[in-house]
Amino acid sequence: MVDDPKLGQIVTDSNGFTLYRFDHDSANPPKATCTDSSCAALWPAAVAPSQPTGNGVSSSLIGTVTRADGTKQLTLNGWPLYRYVPDSKPGQTKGEGVMGIWWAVTPSGGKAMPSSSSAPNAPSAPMSPSTGGNYGNGY
């Protein structure tokens, strides 16, 4: 977990990269829907370690979901978690608000929102199936 100047407290992986949640997933029951190759290439699943833990996150909120390919994906309060490939350095939040459906995740599993009245970041380039714009299941 880190304090982001625009988003407040957000969750990161062990290397400091921001973790995101996807509005098309579900938390109850946990289900990951970003599974097709174009989506997963841009938004890779946060693969769960054998003993998931979190710094600054309640251990009771940390879990896993089994993806269609059999891998275990890390969840927070039921929400499957992802990385965003354009975040090339720890602390970046380029995936925040992409297409109005991808959000940095808070320590409670909620959507991080900018503290100002500004709108979430839009993608820097138009999304298309070739760049990962097809978010699985036709989204």
Least confident of 15-19, 22-26, 78-82, 125-129: 125-129
Which pLDDT does position 64 carry in this prediction?
94
User: How far, in Å, CA of 23 to CA of 20, rounded?
Assistant: 10
Region 29-58 average pLDDT? 88
pLDDT reading at 129 higher than 70 = no
Joined together, the tokens standing for residue 18 give 């921001």
CB 82 within 8 A of CB 43: yes
Counting every residue written for the chain, the total comes to 139
As for how many domains the chain has, the answer is: 1
Q: How many CB atoms lie within 10 A of CB 82?
A: 26
User: How far, in Å, CA of 50 to CA of 79, rounded?
Assistant: 18
Residue 22 lies inside a defined structural domain of this protein:
yes
Residue 128 lies inside a defined structural domain of this protein:
no
Residue 130 lies inside a defined structural domain of this protein:
no
CB 67 within 8 A of CB 32: yes
Residue 45 lies inside a defined structural domain of this protein:
yes
Q: What is the mean pLDDT of the chain?
A: 84
Which pLDDT does position 48 carry in this prediction?
85
| pTM for this predicted structure | 0.80
Residue 103 lies inside a defined structural domain of this protein:
yes
pLDDT reading at 120 higher than 70 = no
Region 66-94 average pLDDT? 96
Residue 2 lies inside a defined structural domain of this protein:
yes
Which pLDDT does position 51 carry in this prediction?
67
Which pLDDT does position 77 carry in this prediction?
96
Can you give the residue range of the structural domain that contains 17? 1-115
- Give the residue carrying structure tokens 């097809």: 134
Residue 134 lies inside a defined structural domain of this protein:
no
Least confident of 35-39, 78-82, 97-101, 113-117: 113-117
Residue 69 lies inside a defined structural domain of this protein:
yes
| 135 or 55, greater pLDDT | 55
Which pLDDT does position 59 carry in this prediction?
87
